[in-house]
Amino acid sequence: MKTLHYVIIIALSLLWIAYAKAQTVNPDSMLNNDNPIQTPEAPVIPDSTPELSKEWVQLNRGVLCNSIGMVREMLKTMRGQITWAAAGNSISTGDPFNAMIIVRNPETHSYSVVLMRTESNIACIIATGVGLEVLGNQN
């Protein structure tokens, strides 16, 4: 008799839980929307003139640095990039770098910008990207 009470209590509990979770949905109520497929609207970007700041901001970001030879070989063998432009910096003595090169893959036009400190044999990749073209060659 005691077992029968437990079975009835458990059955009623399960039925009560199942009834609480079940809800009827009328399919016609889903069709009341005039436009069931809604397209996202483009965000409105207000026209504004950029604020010119008088203060310089320092951005801290990690840069990959290694020996000049290692960076050159890595860019050449892994990315197929060869020297495309180079410049030396003899004007600013406070700059930690005294040379800059841009290497570019002639087929894919991917590029890397490398800053160097030649007396310390250090080269740092500061930027990489795709599609580097001379402005006169762009359409």
Judged by average pLDDT, the poorest of 57-66, 99-108, 124-133 is 57-66
Pairing of strands 64-67, 111-117: unpaired
| Predicted confidence (pLDDT) at residue 101 exceeds the cutoff of 70 | yes
Provide the 8-state DSSP code for 136: G
pLDDT at 52: 72
Percent of the chain with pLDDT over 70: 63
| Predicted confidence (pLDDT) at residue 12 exceeds the cutoff of 80 | no
Q: What is the DSSP string of 10-70?
A: HHHHHHHHHHHH-----GGGGG--S-SS-PPPPPP----PPPPPSS--PPP---EEEEHHH
Distances (CA, A) of 137 to 1, 129, 131, 132, 133: 94, 18, 12, 10, 7
Distances (CA, A) of 23 to 9, 18, 19, 26, 31: 23, 10, 8, 10, 18
Q: Where are the domains of the chain?
A: 64-133
Q: Per-residue pLDDT averaged across 99-124, rounded?
A: 91
Q: What is the pLDDT of residues 31-46, one digit of tens each?
A: 555 555 555 566 676 6
Q: What is the pLDDT of residues 44-56, one digit of tens each?
A: 766 767 677 778 7
pTM (predicted TM-score): 0.55
**Of the candidates 86, 66, 88, which has an alpha carbon nearest to the alpha carbon of residue 75?**
66
- For residues 97 and 118, what is the distance between their CA atoms, to the nearest angstrom? 8
